[in-house]
Amino acid sequence: MGSFKGSLCLFFLFSALFISTTARAKGERKERWVHWDRANGQKRWVDRARDPAQALRLLLTYLEQAPTGRRLLAKAHKKARRLGKTLTDFVEGGKRSLTDITLVRHFHPKDWNRFEPRVRFQVRIDRELTMLEAALDLAHELTHFIEREVFNPYSLKFSARQFMAHTIEGKGGEVEAYIAECMVLDELAGSKEAIQAKCPKIRLPNGRYSPSKAAQLFYRVGQSYDTVKAALGFLGVSEKSVPLISPRHPAFISSAHEAPYPLAALSEYVSIMEKACRNDRRRLGLMEKKMREGPNPGEENLAEDLRRFKRSYFLRCSKADLFQLRDILGDRVVKGRALVYTAFRL
């Protein structure tokens, strides 16, 4: 918009889950939890058509065969229309399955405390998957696309505990996405037990899936238990407030950080806050420069805006030593460096 002069951009990523089985060497590819149809010679989903656009249409049609898939697609189409596009504008093939969410703030030229938030979405589905695998990943990623809450890292209310909980248990989070996969798997593949190694663990006697049982699986961190406890302790988060954290062997590994989900969420929190604080340092520098040069007409409140912004900045960016937290988490933050990017444009 012409009335807004600058933008700060943060990028969040939610990736399809992987099942953890045994410890693996660095860089070794994890086995997917659904693989039976590839073993039977099934083609990659992108090879089912002459071009990517047609392959995507075939994938959407295949997912639509499942009642859960139809419901997800209906909601996804509705959201796409609300954003002024079609669903196929938001979904494409990629190196791995993930959902990109980009938060952009456009600032008003005469009021540094006024901004217009914009959110961009992009869903990618791993090109190497078979049709069934891709349909499951698409169900997972559409759950994020439809429901995932977009956090505001510039708010004083944004915290590591909140981010971790919502990443796993929140609306459109990993638990809901995993259950959506299981439901689609039931509807498309029936009772083929060989491909349902994990879903029965969260199935209730009435045939429904239990969010609480799924959450327990996601909070298993294995050998990262002491690291997660140390990081939470550093942030002032009591063990009682995260009772599901367990030293049991991880059931799921985040493909983004190659770590159990609680550790991956904490690592992403550090990355997000580092970028948000860097954005705000740049914004602070521009405001201070403007003060030295003298406010323009209409910027009479700049001194008060600067005072309020400084207070907010130091409360958010000094309440925890991100460098020390990075040391506690080790190289997990580095591994997740692609999760967050920042841009400042005038």
Q: Tell me, yes or no, whether 17 lies in a domain.
A: yes
Q: What is the structure's pLDDT at 17? A: 45
- Compute the CA torsion angle 279, 285, 287, 292 (nearest 10 deg): -170
Q: Tell me, yes or no, whether 35 lies in a domain.
A: no
Q: Tell me, yes or no, whether 273 lies in a domain.
A: yes
CA–CA separation, 256 vs 328, rounded Å? 19
Q: What is the structure's pLDDT at 12? A: 52
Q: How many domains does the chain have?
A: 1
Tokens of 64: 């639509």
Cβ atoms within 10 Å, residue 239: 10
Q: What is the structure's pLDDT at 19? A: 38
Write out the residue range of the structural domain in which residue 265 sits: 6-25+54-345
Q: Tell me, yes or no, whether 99 lies in a domain.
A: yes
**Mean pLDDT of successive 10-residue stretches along the chain, which has 346 residues:** 43 46 30 47 87 96 97 97 96 90 71 70 93 94 91 84 92 94 88 60 90 95 91 84 92 82 89 86 84 73 83 76 72 41 24
Evaluate if pTM is beyond 0.85. no
Q: Tell me, yes or no, whether 287 lies in a domain.
A: yes
Q: Tell me, yes or no, whether 45 lies in a domain.
A: no
3-state SS record for 293-320: HCCCCCCCCHHHHHHHHHHHHHHHHCCC
Q: What is the structure's pLDDT at 113? A: 61
Q: Is the dihedral of CA 49, 52, 53, 59 positive or negative?
A: positive
Q: Tell me, yes or no, whether 30 lies in a domain.
A: no
Q: What is the structure's pLDDT at 191? A: 58
Q: What is the structure's pLDDT at 246? A: 94
CA–CA separation, 22 vs 12, rounded Å? 28
Strand, helix or coil for residue 243: coil
Tell me, what amino acid is at 102?
A: T
CA–CA separation, 122 vs 227, rounded Å? 32
CA–CA separation, 88 vs 90, rounded Å? 5
Q: Tell me, yes or no, whether 38 lies in a domain.
A: no
